[in-house]
Amino acid sequence: MVAEPPSRGRFSWMAALRSWLWTRTGALGKLFNTTAFKLTLVYLTVFALFAAFLLGYFAWNTRRLITEQITRTVDAEIAGLAEQYNQGGIRRLVFIIDSRARRPGSSLYLLTTFTGDGLAGNVGLLGEGVLEHSGWTETVYRRLDDAEGIEHHALVRVFQLPSGFRLLVGRDLEERERLYDVILAAGQWSIALVIVLGLAGGFFVARRVLHRVDAMTETSRTIMAGDLTGRLPTQGSEDELDRLAVNLNAMLERIEALMRGFKEVSDNIAHDLKTPLTRMRNRAEEALRTARGESDYRAALEGTIEESDELIRTFNALLMIARAESGQASTPMTEFDAADSAHGVGELYDPLADEKGITLTIDAPTPTPVRGNRELVTQALANLVDNAIKYAGSHRTEGMSAEIVVKAGVSGDRVLLSVSDRGPGIPETDRAHVVDRFVRLEQSRSEPGSGLGLSLTSAVAHLHGGELRLEDNEPGLKATLVLPRIGPELPQPSE
Amino acid sequence: MRLLIVEDDRDAADYIARAFREVGHIADQAPDGEEGLAFALDRQYDVLIIDRMLPKRDGLSLIGELRTKGIETPVLILSALGQVDDRVKGLRAGGDDYLPKPYSFSELLARVEALARRRGGRGEETVYRVADLELDRLSHQVTRSKTEIVLQPREFRLLEYLMKHAGQVVTRTMLLENVWDYHFDPQTNVIDVHISRLRSKIDKGFSQPLLHTIRGAGYMIRDK
């Protein structure tokens, strides 16, 4: 039979104890497991050790001091007595010792012959062999005048007088021991108090922290379960947990916005891409059913390709809006001249405007440096000009010259890129939602376009930390791309 | 023209290869990055068409490897990623042109032919000639039948690009990218208006038109 290694046995026993403790204590165990409580324990241990060391040192030093004082007193007395002996001989010494020994609270005295017979003094009993050799000894003793006959401790010195007499002088140690005991007791009490208070404090702090963390955990669970509107509780106390909660809430805010955008995009894709897809499918089906020759098939196929190209274009625009709206950090930002962009776009659209009988004026006389993505800003501006030409050209307001002004300028710390036309404009009530995806006002249904131009422009403005402003040009529309000069502000973690 | 198509989507690769063969080119196919590298190192091609996301070795690393081995064959990158920064990354990695998916075959063909021609070296000529139309790249003078035609700077660059690729189809996107340096898709076909302006300047009053519209593809300048 092979004996099981004892260590393994002990281990499983300990594990069993642990699990028992765990199930028995439950919430308490959770409390003991908190960082706050563990930290408290560590501090408590360090503090208790420190207190113990301090008190120990104090006690030891006090004891040493008292001993030193006794030694000095006894030395002085012996010196004095020896002097008396030298001057007046043994008779005088006996006389002096007798008179001193009778004083209350006096030192211990014993004068003996070389054989050990007592001549004078107040010591009745001594430890064995104390008198045999001179020097310092700690010994038990009993005073002659002590009726109860209790043994005490004393520190004594034995001194050899020249003619064989021995002189013993000592002092009681009771005072020293009592002080020592008092200090030790105080030490024990204070350490016990430190431990109790520390544990209670740790318990309290841990419970408080645990309570708040539990609240946070609870909220984050509901958020994870799908309720993105939930927010972590904050107390406004600006402590570290509150700051964490505030920052996490800001993060949740962002996630919620992203999720909302994502949902919107997928809804729109589902809705607005299905329609042209269905149309395309119908056209193909119809061609299969009714076509009477190669030219019919060809026409149907060409129509299909055209429509799929349009779909791809819409899809690209949607993706781009989504990317711009999600504020992708990967969009490269550089310093470029917005006036240059205005001239470029103006030059690109000038022939088109001209063809429609519209005067396209570029008002960007001075360089207007701005930090951003040149490509996206130019595209946004091109969208605005495209729109202006589309609407100002075909829905011209009576009696107004068809003029579009593209303007680049600076206002404070913002760069303004505006496109003003004399078309029908956008009614004030529609301005807010016209930037939504696929929104096309009734009057523009007849124009080609996906309804994504303004959404894209608005998304680009937001990506740069700016906005798209739509105003009345009296008559007409003034669309302004407002961009911060230094580019988008990077989100800073709040302090 | 001999082409290598490195594309892991078998159907797409077959389709492109077939279409290239139909117009008279030779097209090899490789299904992954490693095989593509082996083919490109082994044989001489005029243009490499490389998909960006490939198994075993991705497109950009394949191009980098070829360039470090001193193979300067023009590369056209195909990619489902069509954003500005993706294109910049692709071109920086050593690609010569970038075409986001989905693309039309006519666009791909036009770009591949432009790349192959670039290698043929018309870029160094100082005077481009198509029939009796002449464009002097140094003096910026354009004449047709010895009569000077006054062009705006942008019109000049447009004509220069078209004549550089004389006899080849040039798509609207290629014009927008190369003449205007814009990589987005304007909602209205603004390029058409620019072309018709240019056309009125160089073709008006001449019996033989040189600037042709190729339906469903783009434009071409050519004799006859």
HEC assignment per residue over A463-484: HCCCEEEEEECCCCEEEEEEEE
The two three-digit tokens of residue A453, written as one number: 């131009």
Contact B133, B112 (CB under 8 A): no
For B102, the closest of A312, A320, A383 (CB atoms) is A312
CB pairs under 8 A between A and B: 60
| pLDDT per residue as tens digits for the range A404-420 | 888 888 888 888 888 88
Q: Which residues of B touch A316 (CB under 8 A)?
A: 82, 100, 185
Length of chain B (residues): 224
Q: What does the pLDDT read at residue A23? A: 60
Q: Which residues of B touch A352 (CB under 8 A)?
A: 188, 190, 193
Q: Which residues of A touch B106 (CB under 8 A)?
A: none
Residues A47 and A188 in one domain: yes
C-alpha–C-alpha distance, residues A184 and A193, integer Å: 14
**Highest mean pLDDT pick, A2-16, A123-137, B95-109:** B95-109
Q: Is a pLDDT exceeding 70 seen at residue B84?
A: no
Which residue type, as a one-letter code, is found at position B188?
T
Q: What does the pLDDT read at residue A475? A: 76
Domain count, chain A: 4
CB contact under 8 Å between B193 and A352, yes or no, is: yes
Q: Is a pLDDT exceeding 60 seen at residue A3?
A: no
How confident is the model over B76-92, as a mean pLDDT? Answer: 78
Q: What does the pLDDT read at residue A20? A: 64
Q: What does the pLDDT read at residue A5? A: 47
Q: What does the pLDDT read at residue A487? A: 62
CB contact under 8 Å between A352 and B188, yes or no, is: yes
CB contact under 8 Å between B102 and A351, yes or no, is: no
Residues A80 and A184 in one domain: yes
Residues A106 and A81 in one domain: yes
| pLDDT per residue as tens digits for the range A432-450 | 666 665 555 544 444 445 5
| pLDDT per residue as tens digits for the range A372-403 | 888 888 888 888 888 888 877 665 555 556 78
C-alpha–C-alpha distance, residues B6 and B50, integer Å: 5
Compute the nearest-CA separation of A301 from chain B (Å): 12
Residues A215 and A115 in one domain: yes
A238-258 exposure pattern, b = at least 16 Cβ within 10 A, e = fewer: eeebbeebbebbeebeeeeee
Determine whether B133 is exposed, middle or buried from the number of CB atoms within 10 Å of its CB (0-12, 13-18, 19+).
buried
Final residue belonging to a domain, choices A281, A308, A325: A325
For B197, the closest of A351, A389, A453 (CB atoms) is A351
Residues A216 and A96 in one domain: yes
Residues A50 and A115 in one domain: yes
Residues A204 and A320 in one domain: no
Asked whether the ipTM of the predicted complex exceeds the cut of 0.90, the reply is: no
How confident is the model over B75-100, as a mean pLDDT? Answer: 80
Contact A139, A125 (CB under 8 A): no
Q: How far is CA B24 from CA A193, A411, B18, B20, B46, in A?
A: 97, 59, 10, 7, 14
Of B143, B126, B146, nearest to B134 by C-alpha is B143
**Which residue has tokens 């699990």?**
A19
Is A104 domain-assigned?
Answer: yes
Q: Identify the band that residue A491 occupies on the pLDDT scale cut at 50, 70 and 90.
A: very low
Is A319 domain-assigned?
Answer: yes
Q: Identify the band that residue B61 occupies on the pLDDT scale cut at 50, 70 and 90.
A: confident
Strand A152-160 versus strand A166-172 pairing type: antiparallel
CB contact under 8 Å between A383 and B190, yes or no, is: no
Is A492 domain-assigned?
Answer: no
Q: Identify the band that residue A306 occupies on the pLDDT scale cut at 50, 70 and 90.
A: confident
Residues A304 and A442 in one domain: no
Tell me how crowded residue A461 is: count the other CB atoms within 10 A of its CB.
24
Residues A220 and A283 in one domain: no
Q: What does the pLDDT read at residue A493? A: 42
Is A3 domain-assigned?
Answer: no
Q: Identify the band that residue A72 occupies on the pLDDT scale cut at 50, 70 and 90.
A: very high
- What is the share, in percent, of chain B residues with pLDDT greater than 70? 94
Q: Identify the band that residue A1 occupies on the pLDDT scale cut at 50, 70 and 90.
A: very low
Length of chain A (residues): 495
Q: How far is CA A138 from CA A60, A152, A156, in A?
A: 17, 11, 6
Q: Which residues of A touch B82 (CB under 8 A)?
A: 316, 319
Q: Which residues of A touch B102 (CB under 8 A)?
A: 312
Is A9 domain-assigned?
Answer: no
Contact A52, A161 (CB under 8 A): no
Residue in chain A closest to B191 (alpha carbons) equals A348
Domain that holds residue A298: 273-325
C-alpha–C-alpha distance, residues A379 and B45, integer Å: 37
Residue in chain B closest to A343 (alpha carbons) equals B180
| pLDDT per residue as tens digits for the range A193-247 | 888 888 888 888 888 888 888 888 888 888 888 777 778 778 777 788 888 888 8
